[in-house]
Structure 1
Amino acid sequence: MKKSIYIMALGAFGIITTEFGIIGIMPAIAKHFQVSIDTAGWLLSGFALTIALTGPFSVLLTSKINRKVMMCLVLLTFVLSNILSAVSPNFTVLMIARILPAFLHPVFWAVATVAASKQVEPKDAPKAVSVVLGGLSVATVLGVPITTYIADLINWQASFIVSGIINLIAFAALLAFVPSMPVIENQSVKSQLVILKKGQMWVNLVATMIMIAGIFATYSFLAEYLGKISSMNGKQISLMLLLFGATGIAGNWVTGLALSKNVLLTTRFFLLSLIAVHMLAYTFGGLFIPMTAIIGIWGFIHTGGFLIGQTRSTAEAPEAPELAASLMVSFGNAGVTLGTFLGGMIITRFGVHEVIWISILLLVLALGLTWVFVGRKVPAADPETPVEITEEDVVEEALGV
């Protein structure tokens, strides 16, 4: 793997620490500004909703700008956002500070994943993309637990400062060590928009949105769940989030290997496993030791969802990979918004323990969509005998396997 791929993974680590680091410090922020936990949840869902609504437009509008310049601009924006968040005098200013970098967030993901895949042989593309997405896994291992621990040790403002420093280091590394990436292919907007006619891509995007919603309906409030149901203190919650992310690194790697063998089978097994682990968390959430083991298993499964969504969504549109990647990011973040909103609503009405059931319902629905296939017909050896191309064939062709 080229050094620049790992640096882009560091950038991914920085922006995900900013996006999801709020999960661990949400209870502290809600207490400080005297707002409800579901209102504080908008610091995550508002960020994600902005990405969902603006992602494809941001990518199209910046498609002709040097890719290194764009990634540097994104990371610098995240640095400034964290500084403003740390000094926010009220919840409204904090909300604005959180939303500002969300406009450029999908640009980084679209550029980094496509750039990584183009820097290696086609057969190694899934591995290269999984390295960049590994930055997400590492963010859940170190970023989220660190911000949670810093908030418990000092205050929540210090957590934003730490996130800003992480983004600043990633910015400096990208600026110093990644070569210039001028846009060589002069693709028109119209030629890229052709992919919007692909029915199976839309099926996969909707399935990804529902899957991510199922994941985040509970995960967005995991710190609250562990505090209220498992009776853990701040340091114990930090350790649980660290365990969650640590097993997630291994899970991301295993998911990448499994996807290279069979995409649909991996997707279905992932969803079934995640449904099972949510049921275990509901049953044994009040017991410290069993919940510790469940968190480890949960983290191992959880992180693979992003790689699954990326693979299934973007493989349908190899002729416009950055736009396809941005659509996946938009639908994925729409899932974060939907999941966080539904989770907050369930918590407000029924209590935090019952939030798990909305996750299970959404994950079951996503599982059902894996059997929905918008087929295509192409001429076979005998022009009168059409052959159906399956999703598996499309994914394998796009990944070069």
Structure 2
Amino acid sequence: MKTSIYALALGAFGIITTEFGIVGILPTISREFDVSIDTAGWLLSAFAITVAVSSPFITSFTTKINRKLLLCMVMSIFVLSNLISAFSTNFTVLMIARILPAILHPLFWNIAIAIAFKERGAKGVSTVMLGLSLATVLGIPLTTYAVDLFQNWQASFFLSSAISLIAFIGLLLFIPTIPPNPEISGKNKMAVLKSPILWLNLVSTLATLAAMFASYTYLTAYLEEITKMDGAQISMMLLLFGGMGTLGNWLMGLALNRNVLLASRMFLVLLVAVQILAYYFGGYYIPMVILVSFWGMVHTCGFLVCNVRTSQSVPHHSLEFVNSLLTSSFNIGISLGAFLGGLVSVYYGVHYTLWVSILLLTVTFLLSFVTFPKNITENEEAKQLKPVASACEHS
């Protein structure tokens, strides 16, 4: 594997740590800036909304710029934004510091995945995606633990900035100069928008991500208020959550390779079951340790399920364009979930955020039974699914 691929994976680690590291310190931020937990949740929601809006457009605006320069610019912005966050004197400044890197967030993924695929195909893509998984396993728990260790909320942002700086150095040293790509005609890509299957999958993706993040965004608050865990224990739970997620991704990759629809439904049923159990056993320490492990195993599969389910339903030549729409759906879903969970948390208590997830997952499960005439043949679909499924197995 080329060193450049690992440098890209390190960049992915830094970016995801910055995006989702805020989840572990939302209660701390809420207390520090004297805002409600749902208002603090907008630090994740605003990031996600910005990514959703910029995703379909940001790449087309930068087609004439050297790709290495863009990658380094993105990582430098993440370094800077984390430092601004650490020195924020009020919640508004912190919010602006969060939105700044989100504008360029999808640009990193578009370029990184393209480079990885060109160099090493599906294996290269799976290696870059490994950075995302490791950020969940290590980055988010570490930034949460840093706050508890130093008794200072700024420690989380200083650590995220340091991680992004290391990633920047890696990109600067190991990514070769890559000239801009010529702009490609979008006629064939736009034609896929006529597919009702695509829109069904995008809506399902949005609902799935909203369900996942309606509860996950407030997991720290849930463990703190309902399970009565302290900061160190919560950090361990987040580490367990992420570690089991890596195992879950691997198992789901195998399941998706056999039957996409069945695996998708299985994911939805399992996540509903875990959250119902968490609602009734949330006040008990040992059961919640077990449930958090299974929750993490199932939760992390959501990105993979939505990606494969959508990719296998469209022509191969449209995948890059569809991926930008999928990124938007992911982030709109994340934002919507964080908003709904925060709303319910304020008016009814954090305990009831789980029912927001359960309701949305049930709707998504019902949508999986909606069918349309296929717009591509079974052979074409199998050819498209094979490389995606292979990437899943490698992850």
- CA–CA separation in structure 2 for the residues paired with 1:139 and 1:400: 22
Question: SS at 1:376's partner residue?
Answer: coil
Note closer, same or farther for the CA distance 1:68–1:191 as it changes in structure 2 (3 Å cut): farther
- CA–CA separation in structure 2 for the residues paired with 1:228 and 1:85: 26
Q: 1:392 Cα deviation (Å)?
A: 5.5
Picking from 260, 264, 272, the partner of 1:263 is: 260
Partner residue in 2 for 1:292: 289
Question: SS at 2:59's partner residue?
Answer: helix
Note closer, same or farther for the CA distance 1:163–1:281 as it changes in structure 2 (3 Å cut): same
Amino acid at match of 2:385: E
Partner residue in 2 for 1:143: 139
> What whole-Å deviation, never above 9, does each CA across 1:209-249 have from its counterpart, x for those lacking one?
11011000000000000000000011110110011111111
Counting only pairs closer than 5 Å after superposition, residues 31-50 of structure 1 correspond to structure 2 as 31-50=31-50
- CA–CA separation in structure 1 for the residues paired with 2:304 and 2:274: 19
Cα contact 1:152–1:234 (8 A) shared by 2: yes
Q: 1:396 Cα deviation (Å)?
A: 2.2
Cα contact 1:74–1:108 (8 A) shared by 2: yes
Cα contact 2:315–2:380 (8 A) shared by 1: no
TM-score, length-normalised on structure 1?
0.90
Partner residue in 1 for 2:172: 175
Partner residue in 2 for 1:365: 363
- CA–CA separation in structure 1 for the residues paired with 2:374 and 2:352: 42
- CA–CA separation in structure 1 for the residues paired with 2:385 and 2:318: 17
Note closer, same or farther for the CA distance 1:40–1:398 as it changes in structure 2 (3 Å cut): same
Cα contact 2:83–2:161 (8 A) shared by 1: yes
TM-score, length-normalised on structure 2?
0.92
Amino acid at match of 1:102: A
Greater Cα offset, 253-262 or 303-312: 253-262
Greater Cα offset, 244-253 or 256-265: 256-265
Q: 1:399 Cα deviation (Å)?
A: 4.0
- CA–CA separation in structure 2 for the residues paired with 1:22 and 1:328: 23
Counting only pairs closer than 5 Å after superposition, residues 377-388 of structure 1 correspond to structure 2 as none
Cα contact 2:195–2:375 (8 A) shared by 1: no
Q: 1:3 Cα deviation (Å)?
A: 3.3
Amino acid at match of 1:225: Y
- CA–CA separation in structure 2 for the residues paired with 1:396 and 1:133: 18
Partner residue in 2 for 1:250: 247
Partner residue in 2 for 1:356: 354
Partner residue in 1 for 2:9: 9
- CA–CA separation in structure 2 for the residues paired with 1:34 and 1:96: 17
Question: SS at 1:169's partner residue?
Answer: helix
Amino acid at match of 2:332: A
Picking from 94, 104, 129, the partner of 2:125 is: 129
Cα contact 2:311–2:385 (8 A) shared by 1: no
Picking from 187, 192, 207, the partner of 2:204 is: 207
Amino acid at match of 2:192: I
Q: 1:390 Cα deviation (Å)?
A: 9.1
Amino acid at match of 1:329: T
Cα contact 2:20–2:44 (8 A) shared by 1: yes
Question: SS at 1:120's partner residue?
Answer: helix
Partner residue in 1 for 2:55: 55
Note closer, same or farther for the CA distance 1:398–1:372 as it changes in structure 2 (3 Å cut): farther
> What whole-Å deviation, never above 9, does each CA across 1:6-51 have from its counterpart, x for those lacking one?
3222111111100110011111111111000000000000111111
Percent identical among aligned pairs is: 52
- CA–CA separation in structure 2 for the residues paired with 1:219 and 1:80: 27
Cα contact 1:26–1:37 (8 A) shared by 2: yes
Partner residue in 2 for 1:396: 385
Note closer, same or farther for the CA distance 1:275–1:64 as it changes in structure 2 (3 Å cut): farther
* Residue 193, structure 1, aligned to residue 190, structure 2: yes
> What whole-Å deviation, never above 9, does each CA across 1:229-282 have from its counterpart, x for those lacking one?
000011110110011111111222222233233222221111111111111111
Cα contact 1:110–1:323 (8 A) shared by 2: no
Note closer, same or farther for the CA distance 1:257–1:171 as it changes in structure 2 (3 Å cut): farther
Q: 1:369 Cα deviation (Å)?
A: 2.1
- CA–CA separation in structure 1 for the residues paired with 2:63 and 2:300: 28
Picking from 281, 299, 307, the partner of 1:302 is: 299
- CA–CA separation in structure 2 for the residues paired with 1:314 and 1:142: 29
Amino acid at match of 1:15: I
- CA–CA separation in structure 1 for the residues paired with 2:5 and 2:105: 18
Cα contact 1:59–1:326 (8 A) shared by 2: no
Note closer, same or farther for the CA distance 1:391–1:146 as it changes in structure 2 (3 Å cut): farther
State how many pairs are aligned: 388
Question: SS at 2:372's partner residue?
Answer: coil
> What whole-Å deviation, never above 9, does each CA across 1:307-359 have from its counterpart, x for those lacking one?
22222334425324433222111110100011001101111111111110110
Amino acid at match of 1:246: G
Structure 1 unaligned runs (5+)? 379-387
Picking from 362, 373, 376, the partner of 1:375 is: 373
* Residue 91, structure 1, aligned to residue 91, structure 2: yes
